[in-house]
Structure 1
């Protein structure tokens, strides 16, 4: 009886907090971004090399499972982003703060949750920051490998006397990466994101041109693939659709943050675009090229036709312009921990040097592990499943512990989400590590 009274009091207190404090009214943003720029950033943070790996993912699953799985994962990713943002806003009202980052939201959720979990608040923040850093370092590595492979393919064809390993192209790209990653504000990065989206759509259309311009065979294409390869499919799809690390920075810097959620909203529009582009390119790319597909469908395009050359150049530029948006997440984590410990007059120099060192670190890892498909799968399985699926479900459960809905439906729903995320984490990593070992063993033999 007393517990019920406490819950009622808590609900009333939370209701009062909602009416007393509106975090949107207290936000002071130096460079606010519009809804269009927010959508561009959200779409570009998700689409990139993952979109072009879509056809290969359909090889793993079969076209029927591929379409169904893409739609389900798209809905799931959109829902997890929704509950993450809703929980963050609720924590802002509790803490009476205008905005919170991803890790700050996790810490606040546990700090204000049931007594038994409050001692885990710092651990939740640290785990989230670590996962964010590893995820977006991995994404930057993938982008490095993809750009290098695209450049090498073009140079090998049109300058055969100048054939060098793709790792050298990664090192050549180090300087332009360092220059571009000196951009500090999302508002300015949105311009590059918009340009990158235009180039990506152009690449998408060129890929469709070649897909429908050649012979499409349905006879040898299966609707249901080998179940043992489903984890690899799910890992690739989640990598392609998740941009969860960019979600909170984008929402926090929007001119009209209330437009982020709802229907229609920035989130709904962005996720609809992502699911449509991924499913169509994945389906038709699989029908056209089948098992011959490479880590990126642009690598399957003919090297002698000018539209194909444009596609390879466009995707390299698109990924290049997206690189600083992904690196923004890594540096945002660095800033939160280091800036309070650095004197103000030294911060500009520290920031400049740290950005260069961070880019160098990402490029070096990309050079050391140039396995595009496998890196995509491992990042999707290990980190995006944790950041994009498991953590949002956990923090919503903790935040709503005293209001889990009728029959505790929120709890049961989140248990299913956590189990699904855990399945992707374990099975995806197992399959991908086995693939990496097999490839490396074959190379040494």
Structure 2
């Protein structure tokens, strides 16, 4: 019986090996079989990648540098950016390998992770089935976290602008924004949102230019500069930078919709150029923002700008850009929850699908509003969702996918090094997830007790 069991396991391993390496014997190229109605060009894809850097994360970089120290912040930002870029490449390549072995044009990230894990070591194969649900959970949580951060940022920005005229609690500004946010989120077509997104990009870019102008020409902080920071606050820095750089769902969607996807991961391709420019922008805002405001940086650098007309214009433009972007980020959780879990079940019950979909859209807006009101701490929100979700989506799952696919290859030193690298990435993701989440939650609790 034992020999029979070993033979059966060996047969499964051989089958997994054959499946994983069919692409070595087959010229099937998934990229050539994609059928897209409106594929994006390389330039359009690059614009989408650059747009990732124009969220609330970049405005929190000065505070992140204050937590990590200038020297640590610069070095760690570059290292994290390199690792994140590599992990995104790993994820895209693993998806491509899964598509090739299954001879299909495209496989979603959660399903690709399941297939990859089922080809991996025996200990990981049971994880294949629950993995898609776990990835969906992290995707939905991350995107809803972004939406929460957007509500908090818009409310804080308006409070900064209108406090000289009349003082009102930040929660009231959140309530004022709720109806227009709900109305915007009822637009179901991304194509209809595209023109508004283009306008938002222009407003955000103009605002960033104004912010950099004040950081470079304004009066700098006289407090001493911290070069190395503290190990106790470094997890908050890690959560912030990972939150800002690791938009896995958007990056995968960009690659999946490219007209020439092979140019995405080339050395001078869309991903590398986009991440290089984005990282440079992050370094500039983080470094000069910390020099400008010192250790007392606010959750967003716009809150530290002087009360002048030009600075107020920058705050207003960025707040409007974030408002428009809310619906785009909420599209992902609506798509995952509705199309994957709710719609198939309601359809079998003969329910009114249109009404239920609108209820889901309104419900998600109300959920993000209640979370934002409960914990209106933008910097801690960013660190929490970055550490919790981005570490898992951007580090852990891509490493598991690559290691599982590599497991079926013949033993070699190259395979051993690859799997050791993936183990290191997975461990780094877990450490960042646990430490960053714990530190962020502790910071949120302390922020309430210090009231």
After TM superposition, is the score higher than 0.5?
yes
Structure 2 Cα separation of the partners of residues 252 and 175 of structure 1: 33
Structure 2 Cα separation of the partners of residues 381 and 108 of structure 1: 26
1:318 aligns with 2:321: yes
Unaligned runs of 5+ in 2: 1-6
- The 8 Å contact of residues 40 and 194 in structure 1, kept in 2 or not, is answered as no
Give CA-to-partner distance per residue, 1:11-54, whole Å, 9 cap, x none. Answer: 6533134x13x323333334433333323333323431110000
Structure 2 Cα separation of the partners of residues 255 and 393 of structure 1: 27
Give CA-to-partner distance per residue, 1:65-91, whole Å, 9 cap, x none. Answer: 111111111111111111111111111
The DSSP-based 3-state class of the residue aligned with 2:450 is helix
1:415 aligns with 2:423: yes
Give CA-to-partner distance per residue, 1:408-435, whole Å, 9 cap, x none. Answer: 1111111111222122112212222222
Structure 2 Cα separation of the partners of residues 11 and 109 of structure 1: 9
Structure 1 Cα separation of the partners of residues 48 and 175 of structure 2: 27
Residue 4 of structure 2 aligns with which residue? none
2:24 equivalent among 2, 12, 15: 15
Q: After the TM superposition, which residues 219-238 of structure 1 pair with which residues of structure 2 at under 5 Å, given as runs?
A: 220-238=224-242
Greater Cα shift, 425-434 or 64-73? 425-434
Q: How many residues align?
A: 436
2:448 equivalent among 424, 433, 440: 440
- The 8 Å contact of residues 107 and 124 in structure 1, kept in 2 or not, is answered as yes
User: How far apart are residue 374 of structure 1 and its match?
Assistant: 1.0
Residue 306 of structure 1 aligns with which residue? 309
User: How far apart are residue 440 of structure 1 and its match?
Assistant: 0.9
Structure 2 Cα separation of the partners of residues 263 and 345 of structure 1: 50
The DSSP-based 3-state class of the residue aligned with 1:333 is helix
Q: After the TM superposition, which residues 142-221 of structure 1 pair with which residues of structure 2 at under 5 Å, given as runs?
A: 142-157=149-164, 159-160=165-166, 163-216=167-220, 220-221=224-225
Structure 2 Cα separation of the partners of residues 295 and 171 of structure 1: 20
Residue 134 of structure 2 aligns with which residue? 127
- The 8 Å contact of residues 37 and 194 in structure 1, kept in 2 or not, is answered as no
- The 8 Å contact of residues 53 and 245 in structure 2, kept in 1 or not, is answered as yes
Give CA-to-partner distance per residue, 1:339-385, whole Å, 9 cap, x none. Answer: 33344994444333322222221112111211111111111111111
Q: What TM-score, normalized by structure 1, do the two folds share?
A: 0.91
1:285 aligns with 2:289: yes
1:94 aligns with 2:101: yes
Give CA-to-partner distance per residue, 1:183-205, whole Å, 9 cap, x none. Answer: 44445544444333322222221
Structure 2 Cα separation of the partners of residues 42 and 348 of structure 1: 32
Structure 2 Cα separation of the partners of residues 361 and 147 of structure 1: 17
Structure 1 Cα separation of the partners of residues 84 and 227 of structure 2: 24
Superposed structure 1 runs of 4+ greater than 6 Å apart: 2-5
Q: After the TM superposition, which residues 349-388 of structure 1 pair with which residues of structure 2 at under 5 Å, given as runs?
A: 349-388=355-394
Residue 113 of structure 1 aligns with which residue? 120
Residue 80 of structure 1 aligns with which residue? 87
Greater Cα shift, 54-63 or 201-210? 201-210
- The 8 Å contact of residues 32 and 187 in structure 1, kept in 2 or not, is answered as no
Give CA-to-partner distance per residue, 1:278-312, whole Å, 9 cap, x none. Answer: 00110011111101210000000122x11101111
Structure 1 Cα separation of the partners of residues 88 and 430 of structure 2: 17
* Aligned CA distance change for structure 1 residues 192 and 113 (closer, same or farther; 3 Å): farther
Structure 1 Cα separation of the partners of residues 208 and 404 of structure 2: 41
- The 8 Å contact of residues 65 and 223 in structure 1, kept in 2 or not, is answered as yes
Residue 3 of structure 2 aligns with which residue? none
The DSSP-based 3-state class of the residue aligned with 2:163 is helix
Q: What TM-score, normalized by structure 2, do the two folds share?
A: 0.90
Greater Cα shift, 203-212 or 190-199? 190-199
Structure 1 Cα separation of the partners of residues 184 and 254 of structure 2: 19
* Aligned CA distance change for structure 1 residues 292 and 8 (closer, same or farther; 3 Å): closer
Give CA-to-partner distance per residue, 1:222-275, whole Å, 9 cap, x none. Answer: 221122221111111111111112222222222332232213222112211210
The DSSP-based 3-state class of the residue aligned with 1:237 is helix
Unaligned runs of 5+ in 1: none
* Aligned CA distance change for structure 1 residues 358 and 37 (closer, same or farther; 3 Å): farther
The DSSP-based 3-state class of the residue aligned with 2:22 is helix
Greater Cα shift, 375-384 or 44-53? 44-53
The DSSP-based 3-state class of the residue aligned with 1:107 is helix
The DSSP-based 3-state class of the residue aligned with 1:324 is helix
